[in-house]
Chain A
C-alpha cells in the first residue's frame, strides 16, 4: 500500500480540510468580524453609560419635562388671551384684565424657562458628556450598520465557497481506497495535528521529531508509512 501517489493524496486532502476550516473559522475570526464584535461591545458599554447618566440626571430631566409642559400650556393660554384681545368685544376693564393676565403668564413662562436654564447650567458638564456619548453612539451605530453589511457579504461569499470545497473533497475522497479513508478519518478523530506530511530531511513532517535512519526505514516499511512517534503519515 506504499503507493506514493495515494499517500501524497492524503496531504492534498488535508489541505482541502484546512481550507474548509479556514473558511469556517473566518466567519467567527475574520478581521471584520472581530472589528464588528469589538464595536458591538463598545456600543453596549456606551449605551450603559448613557443610561447611567440619564439615571443620575433623572431629576433634571423630570423637572425640564415638567417645565416644558407648563410652558406649552401657558403659551396656549396666552394665545387664547391674544385672540380675545384682538377682537372688539371686550370692554376696557376686561381688556386691562386680560392684558394683566397675559403679562403674568409671560412672567411665569420666563420663570420656568429660567429654571430650566439654571438646571442646564448646574448639570452642564454631565449633559455635555452625555451629549458627546450620544453622538458617539450614533456614529458607532452607523458604523455597525455598514460593517454588518460588509460582514454579511463576506459570509455569503464564504457560504458559497464551503459547499464547493466540500464537494471537491467528497469527489476527491471517492478516489481513495477504503482503508486510506478510514486511516485519515481515524487520525483526524484522534486529533492528530498533521495527518500527513512530507519528510523534511530526517525530520517527521507531521510532528517534527528527528528520526534516525532505522526509524525512517521502519516507517517506509510500514503499511501506511506512519511515524512511530505521532502516527502521522510520512511521505
Chain B
C-alpha cells in the first residue's frame, strides 16, 4: 500500500518554541496525524524532526512505500543529496533520516509549496497554539 506523508515544522522564532505537524494519507484518506511541540528548535531542525517523526511512525507501522512531501526545500534537497549539510546541528538529523530511508522499500522526498502543505502546517501550528 502506498502512503502520502505531509510534514511540516514550525517555530515561533529562529530558534524558538517549535512544533511539528504530520499528516499521513492513503487512498485520499487521512489515517494518522502527529501534532506536537518539540521545545526550542530552529525552523530547519523542526522540519527535520517532523520528517523524522513521520518516518519513525511509518516504520513502526510497516508503512514501507512512502511519498513524502515537505515545503522546506532545504530539507528536501539535503536529504536527496543535492545540497550540502553545513550546520553541525542538522547533520545528525539528516543522517538519521537517511538511516530510516534505508529501511523502507520505497520512498520519495518531494518539495511542495506551502499552500499545498496546509494540513501539516495547521497541525504544527495547532501544537504551538495549545
A residues apposed to B, CB below 8 Å: 18, 21-22, 25-26, 29, 191-194, 197, 200-201, 203, 207-210, 229-230
> In chain B, what residue has the closest Cβ to A194?
B74
A200 CA / B43 CA spacing, docked (Å): 14
Give chain B residues whose Cβ lies under 8 Å from the Cβ of A25. 81, 84
- B86 contacts partner chain A, Cβ-Cβ < 8 Å: yes
- B5-52 residues with Cβ-Cβ distance < 8 A to A are 10-11, 13-14, 42-44, 47
Chain B residue contacts of A18, Cβ below 8 A: 77, 82-84
Q: How far is the CA of A25 from the CA of B81 in the complex (A)?
A: 8
Task: Show 24 residue pairs from A and B whose CB-CB distance is below 8 angstroms, ordered by the A residue.
Answer: A18-B77, A18-B82, A21-B83, A22-B81, A25-B84, A26-B81, A29-B81, A191-B87, A192-B86, A193-B74, A193-B78, A193-B86, A193-B90, A200-B113, A201-B114, A207-B14, A207-B42, A207-B44, A208-B47, A208-B74, A209-B11, A209-B14, A210-B10, A229-B14
Determine if A193 and B81 form an interchain contact, defined as CB atoms under 8 angstroms apart.
no
Is the contact region of chain B dominated by helix, strand, or loop, or is it mixed?
loop
12 additional A-B pairs beyond A207-B42, A209-B13, A230-B14, beta carbons within 8 Å, are: A18-B82, A22-B81, A26-B81, A191-B88, A192-B86, A193-B74, A193-B78, A193-B83, A209-B11, A209-B43, A210-B10, A229-B14
Can you list, as one digit per residue, whether each of B42-71 has a CB less than 8 Å from chain A (1) or not (0)? 111001000000000000000000000000
In the complex, what residue of chain A is closest to B78 when comparing beta carbons? A193
Closest Cβ of chain B to A150, distance in Å, is 19
Q: Inter-chain contact count A-B, CB under 8 Å?
A: 47
Cβ contacts under 8 Å, A209 to chain B: 11, 13-14, 43
The docked-state distance in angstroms from the alpha carbon of A200 to that of B72 is 11
Instruction: Give the top 4 A-B pairs by smallest Cβ distance, nearest first.
Output: A191-B86, A229-B14, A208-B43, A209-B14
Chain A residues in 8 Å Cβ range of B83: 18, 21, 193
- Tell me which residues across on chain B come within 8 A of A203, comparing CB atoms: 114
* Nearest neighbor of B113 in chain A, beta-carbon distance: A200
- Name the CB-closest residue of A to B84: A21
Nearest to A200 among chain B residues (CB) is B114
Within 8 A of A (CB), among B85-112: 85-88, 90
Q: Which of B73, B82, B84, B88 has the most CB of A within 10 A?
A: B84
Report Cα–Cα, A18/B42, bound state, in Å: 22
Complexed CA–CA distance, A201 and B113 (Å): 11
In the complex, chain B residues whose CB is within 8 Å of the CB of A208: 43-44, 47, 72, 74
Residue from A22, A26, A203, A209 with most neighbouring chain B CB atoms (10 Å):
A209
Contact in complex: B13, A229 (CB < 8 Å): yes
The smallest beta-carbon distance between B13 and chain A, in angstroms, is 7
In the complex formed, the residue of A with least CB distance to B46 is: A208
